[in-house]
A and B are shown apart, each in its own frame.
Chain A
Amino acid sequence: MNTAHARDRASLPSLVDPSIIVPALTASVTKLDPRLMIKNPVMFVVEVVAALTTILFVKDVLVGGTSLAFSFQIILWLWFTLLFANFAEAVAEGRGKAQAASLRKTRTETQAKLLDSERARDFTLVPGGQLKVGDVVLVEAGDIIPSDGEVVEGVASVNEAAITGESAPVIRESGGDRSAVTGGTQVLSDWIRVRITAAPGSTFIDRMIALVEGASRQKTPNEIALNILLAGLTIIFVVAVATIPSFTAYAGGTIPIISLVALFVTLIPTTIGALLSAIGIAGMDRLVRFNVLAMSGRAVEAAGDVDTLLLDKTGTITLGNRQATSFRPMRGVSEEDLADAAQLASLADETPEGRSIVVLAKERYGIRARQMGELHATFVPFTAQTRMSGVDIGESIIRKGAVDSILAYLSPKIPVLSAGAAPTVKSLVGADQVREVQAIADDIAKAGGTPLAVAKDGRLLGVVQLKDIVKGGIKERFAELRQMGIRTVMITGDNPMTAAAIAAEAGVDDFLAQATPEDKLALIRSEQAQGKLVAMCGDGTNDAPALAQADVGVAMNTGTVAAREAGNMVDLDSDPTKLIEIVEIGKQLLMTRGSLTTFSISNDVAKYFAIIPAIFAAIYPQLGALNIMHLATPESAILSAIIFNALIIVALIPLALRGVKYRAIGAAPLLRRNLLVYGLGGIIVPFIGIKAIDLLITTIGLA
């Protein structure tokens, strides 16, 4: 995984930190409240059984029952089982709680400068908590933004460290895709007017606090289904154990209730039951540590199921900046002349493309960058109308721009020239030249580049080849995704030829060229119609419908309010490549549940072999042959099983929190691996564990 993404927040404590362990120990006890326990059917059953046996034990103590020491130990371990389960959950919640506490600090009461109207200059100071949706506030340098909102006027640099942990300030401005501001962040310079978009108590930070604390945690669909399975297994074992007394009555013997309780509790899937909610919380926590906020656990689970990943080309697959890679002059023009003109046109062009042209000309032909001032040149900036930029040096006029814009500029009578169509009207450029420049342009596009035509004084000089630079290592990531069974689709505004070339270079499975927001939405719908789950990320308001339609929509934190509302996750780092990690985290969450369920159920084999011979030995000594672990006495066997059953929960807490590692090796090898480790391991480990505990407790004389 990319270490840049794995950057933990400095303030996050580790798991063995006393600041997590100590409150977790307290919580282990308070969580024994049956009203809380009932949410977890398996552990609730354990609690009921533990309570009943405790009552029976007290009665036995009063009336003087037998083997009290043994009963006492069993009951003790029943309660330990419950405490361990609660501890697992509390530890998982701990890190979130610590984070929530630091977030709460940012929510301290701020005074808001409430404007009487959007245009008004006068404001009244009101507490931030009283702001309603639609209010407009003024936020000036040094002020804390009082609530979530949208910038309606102004531009300011904002420190969002409170929510992203990133101290470098970001620009927030009205209009465009960077208009959302978050309550609790601080304006560093300039001023903005903000229209409040969140009701009190439901701001982004409020939701974040609720999420990381797990307060709003709801069971996800798969978790519900798994709970049903576990409850069903519990009922099966109720029947299996509850029928034993009458079976033994037939055989002419009785079995102490405490032994049956021990058998029952060890058979029901307590391991997974105890760790289930910890796994879920830890999954969310992993996302939070990746600086991604999931609005629901359902979204995290859906991420694991994603079949199709829609990725924007720019910034995700390619570096944001195109680079000039070669000069392609027209016939009769020297490459050097083209380079010279292109460099002059780009001197004042501060875009990365412009700078790369200056650099390339210098590298190839030693043309030194000149100063605009020395040349008495005037820079002509890019406008949406002309779609060109350039420079005027005295009489000389140099322009660069997209091929069709330059052609349109050179032959004003041809507004738009489609590829291959010969001009019908006489122009400054001849038909031959048009064909030639088109051929060069096509050539460049096929190679995944973008052609940029250069004209000087009404003469077409040639084309600069700009190339998209595919991010290093991205091809391997896509190969990995393919292994996971996920199809990647590149979304780009480029023409199909360029798109195809970049798609091939980056190794994506498919691409959508000249994509409009509507195209994106249509693509998502058609994928979903085939039963696929789609993930995408976006930031602009025009991405909002697609974000809402996608099963997993990751909104960039830099994006608009609309985009943030539409998505079901927000990436605080605004890094689109994170989709890949999000998918992995989703898969990890499901795998951890599945693997521990398998482990938990497999454990039953050994527990039967420990307890069955022990409880039936008094009735049928022959059944001692089933004591294949050679456990010392029936008491030590039962005690060892119940101790193992409790300790395994603690032993597996780190795994539950860390998650079972996902490997992109295809479903069958992955399953084989997990079955070997957790299935076969689940059968073997308790045999060893129970035997070891038996040796220990007989040595120290507990049984």
Chain B
Amino acid sequence: MTINGWVQILVFCALVAAIVSPLGWYMTRVFAGEKTFLSPLLRPVESGLYKLAGIDEREEQHWLTYALAMLAFNLTGFLVLYGLQRFQAALPYNPMEMANVAPDLSFNTAVSFVTNTNWQNYGGESTMSYLVQMVGLTVQNFLSAATGIALAIALVRGFSRASAKGIGNFWADMTRAVLYVLLPLCIVLAVVYVARGVPQTLGASVDVTTLEGGKQTIAVGPVASQLAIKMLGTNGGGFFNANSAHPFENPDALVNLIQMISIFAIGAGLTNVFGRMVGDQRQGWAILGAMAFLFLAGVSVAYWAEAGGNPLVHALGVEGGNMEGKEVRFGTAMSALFAVVTTAASCGAVNAMLSSFMPLGGMIPLINMELGEIVIGGVGAGLYGMLLFVIVTMFVAGLMVGRTPEYLGKKIEAKEVKMAILAILSLPVVMLGFTAIAVVTPTALSSIGNPGPHGFAEVLYAYVSGAANNGSAFGSLSGNTPWYNLTLGAAMLIGRFFVIIPAMAIAGSMAAKKRLPVSAGTFPTHGGLFIGLLVGVILIVGGLTFFPALALGPIVEHLSVIAGQSFAAGG
């Protein structure tokens, strides 16, 4: 580890911290339907859309109505995206004449983009037409992100309201998320990316003659626009197969930094929205504090592991950090940081090959996702996932101070505990369950790229990434098989909606509750003690479940590496 590396990491953290409050202020106004500086421009568009769709933006929806609207909307998005892929050959904007996508791959990809996972079992530049990329994938990038934001806002309303029936209007929240938050930011970001050299064209690939005289096809396309939402919406689906390791998708250190900041921007900002909406910004900072603690711990381990390098390589006389699978432009610090950022949030974009990370370096992204991506997390999804853990934490803490547990003046009762534990439970069930089946299924095993514990980690990583809606991959697993397309699709669906529905039920029951006054007997939830307890509960309840799996994967691999063993020869 170098001071330079740490300075870069801390600069990143400082920049993220700096935008939390302004972005939180802006989003709070947007979702309250208040005026912002963009209103003169966007309000007519917004009203026009409501009129067109016949929606009354002021109509309050019951949590079930809200959730059903969200499900219907997502189902429609899925069907459209599936259809676009299946018939892309017959559709316009296909200069490379891509063939129709296979049914299982189309299913996987459609689920993947609707659930904000963006697991890619396809190579973008070699599979999808520009139409699918733009109208299908990029549109879903916006909509799945907006869905996450809307759901988080709805859950926060559950805490900020008292004795209320409704938790907001799904259609209005969606419209505002896209129109006021995602679109303006993406336009600015796309322009910056173009300025730094990211392609934005509808032209076909370019054939060039290389210096050696060989022929090479250089894929281009509408990259900058997709790149902007890919990061901002924590989607992570790259235009190119190499994702943000590709020079066109991540041309320089500045773009790399901007990409990482935009992954965290909205997720971090939403914690502030939470604080503002419940009338005490400190509540939001405390949540962000717990996230920051877990994040910095993760970065420290990953950077330490990567910068320390591989003893097996050192033994060959090659000093230095682990540079296998990394861009020299980014080095160990920025690669480790990017990997932790992308898995802490549910982005899944990568600028280095995670499979080539040191065992412990690769374990951090795995743990980030196993915890349910609550460290900043996916836009919206991170906040509502974290709030589920807060409910469990406050339940135990409340009992320990001798009162019926409460959070922000709302009593936590059997129903909320049931829903929170159901949501928290669904992730390990899917992640471990599918992995357990896959590692004893020959079809699934044939996709594994490396023998031994590393191969186990590849499979585990795939299902963890799918269920957590992350989408990053331990590159060496060949996922485009009917088995993985279908099972990963199922993991993504369960991981998304089995968390969302309970979270919405909690939003509804919380909104309906009375608000209790704060007294000296109330445990304050904005201090270090709360943060510490929350982190403890997350690690013990969310993390210990995976200890056996981690022991058989990265941990045993790590212990072998330091003992000078490798599993390469026959495993």
Residues of chain A contacted by B403 (CB below 8 angstroms) = 304-305, 587, 590, 667
- Among listed B88-96, B253-261, B427-435, B481-489, interface-contacting one: B427-435
Chain A interface size band reads 35 or more
Interface string of A226-242 (1 = CB under 8 A from B): 10110011011101111
In the assembly, what is the distance between CA of A442 and CA of B440, in Å? 90
Interface string of A283-304 (1 = CB under 8 A from B): 0000000000000000001001
Is A662's beta carbon under 8 Å from chain B?
Answer: yes
Main secondary structure of the interface of A (DSSP, over half): helix
B residues contacting the other copy or chain, number (CB 8 A): 65
The 8 A CB mask of B415-434 against A (1 = contact, 0 = none) is 00110011011001100110
Complex contacts, A532 vs chain B, CB 8 Å = 516-517
**Cβ-defined contact, B413 with A221, below 8 A:** yes
Contact A667 B401 (CB under 8 A): yes
**For residue B565, which residue of chain A has the nearest CB?**
A622
In residues 600-642 of chain A, which contact B (Cβ within 8 Å)?
601-602, 604-605, 608, 612, 616, 619-620, 622-623, 625-626
| Residue pair A612, B559 in contact (C-beta under 8 Å) | no
**A595–B400 contact, CB under 8 A?**
yes
Does B412 touch A at the CB level, under 8 Å?
yes
Cβ-Cβ contact count across A and B, 8 Å cutoff: 211
Interface 9-mer from A154-162, A324-332, A669-677 = A669-677
The answer to whether B437 touches A608, judged by C-beta atoms less than 8 angstroms apart, is no
The listed residue (A221, A240, A598) touching B400 by CB distance below 8 A is A598
Q: How far is the CB of A661 from chain B (nearest CB, A)?
A: 10
Contact A612 B548 (CB under 8 A): yes
- With both chains docked as a complex, state the minimum distance between the C-beta of B361 and any C-beta of chain A, in angstroms: 18
Do B453 and A251 touch across chains, with their CB atoms under 8 A apart? yes
Complex partner residue of A236 from B400, B425, B439, B565, CB under 8 angstroms: B425
Q: How far, in angstroms, from A247 to B433 measured CA to CA in the complex?
A: 10
- Which A residues, 539 to 595, have Cβ-Cβ distances below 8 Å to chain B? 586-591, 593-595
CB proximity to A under 8 Å, residues B514-529: 514-517, 519-524, 527, 529
Which residues on the A side are within 8 Å of B452 (C-beta)?
251
Q: Type the 1/0 row for B386-400, where 1 means its CB is closer than 8 Å to any CB of A.
A: 000000100111111
Question: CB of B549 within 8 A of chain A?
Answer: yes
A530 and B513 CA atoms in complex are apart in Å by 12
B229-271 interface code vs A (CB 8 A; 1 in, 0 out): 0000000000000000000000000000000000000000000
Interface check A668, CB cutoff 8 A: yes
Q: Does A446 contact B (CB under 8 A)?
A: no
For B556, what are the chain A residues with a Cβ–Cβ distance below 8 Å? 616, 620, 622-623
Q: How far is the CB of B483 from chain A (nearest CB, A)?
A: 15
CA distance A608 to B550 in the complex (A): 12
Given A235-B425, A250-B439, A531-B409: A612 and B517 interface contact (C-beta under 8 Å): no
**What B residues does A229 contact at CB under 8 A?**
392, 395-396, 417, 421
A28 close to chain B: CB less than 8 A: no
Output the nearest chain B residue to A588 by Cβ-Cβ distance. Answer: B402
CA distance A485 to B517 in the complex (A): 10
A608 with B395: in contact, given A239-B429, A301-B404, A625-B559 (CB under 8 Å)?
no
Question: Interface segment, B8-16, B22-30, B373-381, B536-544?
Answer: B536-544
Q: Which residue of A lies closest to B560 (CB)?
A: A622
Contact between A601 and B540 (Cβ–Cβ < 8 Å)?
A: yes
Is A222 part of the binding interface, using a Cβ–Cβ cutoff of 8 Å?
yes
Residues from chain B with a CB closer than 8 A to the CB of A228 are 414, 417-418, 421
Interface CB pairs A-B, < 8 A, 28: A221-B414, A224-B414, A225-B417, A232-B418, A232-B424, A233-B541, A236-B541, A236-B545, A240-B544, A241-B548, A246-B440, A251-B453, A307-B516, A485-B519, A485-B522, A486-B519, A531-B517, A587-B402, A590-B399, A591-B401, A594-B401, A601-B540, A604-B544, A620-B453, A622-B565, A623-B559, A625-B559, A671-B529
Q: A246-B439, A590-B398, A591-B401 are in contact. List 10 more A-B contacts (CB 8 A).
A: A229-B392, A243-B435, A247-B549, A485-B520, A594-B396, A594-B400, A595-B400, A604-B544, A608-B548, A675-B533
Top-8 shortest CB links A-B: A485-B521, A594-B399, A587-B402, A485-B519, A232-B421, A594-B400, A485-B520, A243-B436
